[in-house]
Chains A and B, each alone.
Chain A
């Protein structure tokens, strides 16, 4: 199964990964805040992830690591 990890501390919450995800399982966690003061991206349903790495391809800050 694909495993996606977020380096949440450096996420700026821009949402480009959310746009790129073909399975629509990424969200900006509006109820959370990281040390930079942004609401970071997170995954809602790891089971549905296909490990395409589209999110990581569009992330400007190398927040995302994808393993399969």
Chain B
């Protein structure tokens, strides 16, 4: 009996990510959700600009490459013209929380019936490790060599907290992939985000706290520790908004 194998919704292409990068885990969780729900034939993904720019090579479903940050806008168009299809976006923090902030907030407040997977690793990975809107105070990056100075660069944006304050979105949750327990919880949250869309409930955003061993200058092992010790205290995990649960409670 097979306990674990590569999900069908991932292609055989070898991932280009650095050793120990947790993008691969998140790709697999999305693919597992697509497999579980049996929606491989009608799912359309929207790839971002950033490390995951070549996600279209890895997901075995139709994919669209959006301009930097515009994935939720492209997904809006896809969902409105093809309402029977399942549309997801896969975006990093440089994509979603920086140049794509307007698209994200407005898609959320319109409660567009799409699924957003947001990978937060607190740095611009693909371009070589510059400070991102989500970089932690004091974090050393290429463009903050003395650590992020909040007096100059401002404070990190907590996307889940901000989006969950809007009346629009259906489901907003933050998960992490730094250990087995958190990976399993992340898989469940991503599955729920896809289910919400199939049930027509509306906008679901899953923020996944991820690692970037290369640009943090850490080994894969130390990077996971850094997620635990630095990232999660600043970005607490949990469900920030779940409208269907609120309705049941009332």
Contact = CB atoms under 8 A, between A and B. Distances in A.
B197 interface: no
Interface in A51-68: 51, 53-54, 56-62, 64-68
B242 to A, nearest CB: 25
Interface residues of B, number: 29
Interface residues of A, number: 26
Contact of B24 (A13, A36, A53, A62): A62
B2 A14 contact: no
A66 B17 CA distance: 23
A38 B17 CA distance: 14
B21 interface: yes
A67 B180 contact: no
Given A19-B224, A57-B180, A51 B3 contact: yes
8 contacts: A15-B219, A15-B220, A36-B14, A53-B4, A60-B21, A64-B4, A65-B4, A66-B3
A12 B1 contact: no
Contacts of A59: 24-25
A16 B224 contact: yes
Contact of A67 (B2, B22, B24, B184): B2
Interface of A: 2, 10, 12-16, 19-20, 36, 38, 51, 53-54, 56-62, 64-68
B127 interface: no
Contacts of B220: 14-16
B24 A56 contact: no
Interface in B86-103: none
Contacts of B19: 12-14, 38
Contact of A19 (B1, B21, B221): B221
A13 B179 CA distance: 17
B5 A65 contact: yes
Contacts of A16: 20, 220-221, 224
B163 interface: no
A12 B179 contact: no
A58 B3 contact: no
Interface string B67-91: 0000000000000000000000000
B6 interface: yes
Given A19-B221, A62-B28, A53 B20 contact: no
A59 B15 CA distance: 12
Given A15-B221, A19-B224, A20-B179, A57 B4 contact: yes
